[in-house]
């Protein structure tokens, strides 16, 4: 579903790859209840190379900044060596999330427990892959 007739991924697959890394990062830090209250308020991406059906993909995500009500992430998506082509960066960019609890409808400060879990590792990165793909 993520590839077109030419056999390469649609650009929208990048967002899914990045969100999978974000989920892994939050799970790994013990942050629960995160999804559903963190809309993306800004997303920018530079597409640099194609990703092909069956090609292993690695996504690296770095939490760059934690603000009072928002977080900024940087990401890189790499197509691993495939069918005679070398490993190359397929996309890179940044995005911002905001903490918007369902009842409030407006951005609110991050829960203290989340800040504690995330600030301890704010400069670490998370590398993840979709099922069936390698790191």
Rounded distance between C-alpha atoms, residue 14 and residue 59, angstroms: 9
* CB-based contact 108:28 (threshold 8 Å): no
* CB-based contact 72:116 (threshold 8 Å): no
Q: What is the pLDDT of residue 122?
A: 52
Q: Which two tokens stand for residue 71?
A: 């977080």
Average confidence (pLDDT) per 10 residues, the chain, 135 residues: 70 92 95 94 95 92 96 97 94 97 89 92 52 37
Can you state the percent helix, strand and coil of the chain, rounding each to 5?
20, 35, 45
Q: Which two tokens stand for residue 114?
A: 């989340």
């Amino acid at each position: 579903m993520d590839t077109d007739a030419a056999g390469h991924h649609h650009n929208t697959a990048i967002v899914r790859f990045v969100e999978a890394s974000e989920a892994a990062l939050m799970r790994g830090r013990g942050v629960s209840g995160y999804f559903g209250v963190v809309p993306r308020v800004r997303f920018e991406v530079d597409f640099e190379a194609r990703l092909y059906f069956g090609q292993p993909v690695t996504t690296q995500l770095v939490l760059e900044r934690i603000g009072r009500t928002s977080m900024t992430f940087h990401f890189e998506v790499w197509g691993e060596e495939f069918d005679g082509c070398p490993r190359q960066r397929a996309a890179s960019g940044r995005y911002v999330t905001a903490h918007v609890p369902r009842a409030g409808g407006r951005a609110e400060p991050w829960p203290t427990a989340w800040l504690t879990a995330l600030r301890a590792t704010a400069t670490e990165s998370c590398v993840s892959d979709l099922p069936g793909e390698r790191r």
